[in-house]
Amino acid sequence: MSDIIRKLQQLNESDEYPLHMPGHKRSVGCGFLDDVYGIDITEIIGYDNLYEADGMLKDAMERAARVYGAEETFFLVNGSTVGILSAITGVAKRGERILVARNCHKAVFHAIELRDLQAVYLHPRYLPEWDIAGGIDPQEVEAKLAQYPDIKAIVITSPTYEGIVSDVEAIARIAHAHNIPLIVDEAHGAHLPFDKRFPKSALAGDADIVIQSMHKTLPSFTQTALIHMKKGYADTARIKEYIGYYQTSSPSYLFMAGMDECIANLEKEGSHLWDAFFEMRGDFLKKMAILQNIRILQDNDPCKLVISVKGTSMSGVELQKILLEKHHIQLEMAAETYVLGIITMCDTKEGSDRLAEALLEIEGSIAKLSQDVSDRGQNSDFRDDLNSLSEWRTCEEEIVYSLAEVREKDTKEILIETAEGCVCADYVNLYPPGIPLLLPGERIRREHIALINRYLEKDMHVQGVTDNRILVC
């Protein structure tokens, strides 16, 4: 038995509860996997071909389009990344300009780099009470399009990793008034169309291209995703062509079968599948109502649990550690002032009750702090740096080189403390969620250095910084 298999089996046999993706929570079978190897095939006669579908796969994708309200839907077996790369490549020619939300996943920026596109950035509203990015302001979209009339497409993320939804309908209306498509990375919103208690989906908001990760919030295998398309403002044929470039030529039939089974069940059973979910979530929030120090964000996608400890004696990283080590609850991610859990129709009352009991117990061990104390004794200059950077989403970046230009530059690693004023040559971000703090080609500010050091001190995983060194050009 391999080490990987052994470790996965140990996890499956443990009592560790998954408040993270995939949405099936390691407990809901697809009903056809008694013999995995027996049904793992390639494109053989009688079983259709994903890229020239005219049989069962065509029927499955047409079912998905019908259920989700798209004109055309295509299966993705390499995750939402494939859809993002294909969509952006398909709507903008090399060197053209696109409008991009700055809080997009790094896959968006990879597409910009690969096509040598000129990016104009939208900055989401900042929600200081929760230390998270909010939605995109449609007025800012309108202003950017007026400033840059040659923009060829708009790309936003909705819902965000923390479950914040933008006014997609308003943004789509603005995009279409300028005769350009709106692409929405809805990787965390594959569940939205299936119950009116969820926020409105991007497709219902008239977005042109919508990419969803089924595995994040639905009972579907990791890597399974969908790209939904509407004709008119986007060249959908071109996008489909690029899917064949970016995605494997040997798509997994296990993945595609699981996607079709999931969608078929959702179509058949309807919204009542979510009744138990909303009842469970409601009971959990009632129990949490007595909390004074720990707070639960409620004005977001119900599948996302943002648990804040901002202004207390505990950090998000510390909370994550306690929940895992003492209570055997594995979260999706930890930030400095909050943790994030993902809940789906596949979660159990036992898991919800365990989390509630754990938070009630932890509540008794922490206390609110004054602002000065919660800044952990740092000097005022340092606090100013952090406060400034916490609102980085609302500030214009100093872009020295395009993402593609950086790849042609000579680079070197230097200590992060000496990097102020240098040009970053790599993506720097916490992972998850994979939203770049710094992009290649951006000038490094003292605020960036302050926050990166802050993250490192808290043992947070900062990609793009190794041994306190950063790549610059």
Alpha-carbon distance of 293 to 311, in angstroms, equals 8
Q: Are 342 and 331 in contact (CB under 8 A)?
A: no
Tell me the CA distances in angstroms from 25 to 21, 22, 36, 469, one per residue in order.
7, 6, 19, 37
Averaged pLDDT for residues 68-90: 98
Percentage of the chain lying above the pLDDT 70 cut: 93
pLDDT digits (tens, 9 = 90+) for 357-376: 999 999 999 988 865 444 54
Extents of the domains making up the chain:
15-19+272-363, 37-269, 375-472
Q: What count of residues does the chain have?
A: 473
Alpha-carbon distance of 249 to 96, in angstroms, equals 29
Alpha-carbon distance of 81 to 104, in angstroms, equals 12
Query: Of 27-36, 114-123, 132-141, which range is least confident?
Result: 27-36
Q: Is residue 32 very low, low, confident or very high in pLDDT (cuts 50, 70, 90)? A: low
CA nearest to 63, candidates 52, 75, 45, 77: 75
Arithmetic mean of pLDDT over the chain: 91
CA nearest to 254, candidates 280, 228, 215, 217: 215
pLDDT digits (tens, 9 = 90+) for 146-169: 999 999 999 999 999 999 999 999
Q: Is the model's pLDDT at 395 over the cut of 90?
A: no
- pLDDT given for residue 387 in this prediction: 46
Q: Is the model's pLDDT at 30 over the cut of 70?
A: no
- pLDDT given for residue 191 in this prediction: 97
One-letter amino acid of 392: W
**Residue position matching structure tokens 């005769």:** 179
Q: CATH top-level class for 375-472?
A: alpha beta
Averaged pLDDT for residues 326-342: 96
Which of these CATH numbers, 1.20.120.1760, 3.40.50.150, 1.10.530.10, 3.40.640.10, describes 37-269? 3.40.640.10
- pLDDT given for residue 29 in this prediction: 54
Is the domain defined by 15-19+272-363 classed in CATH 3.90.1150.150?
A: yes
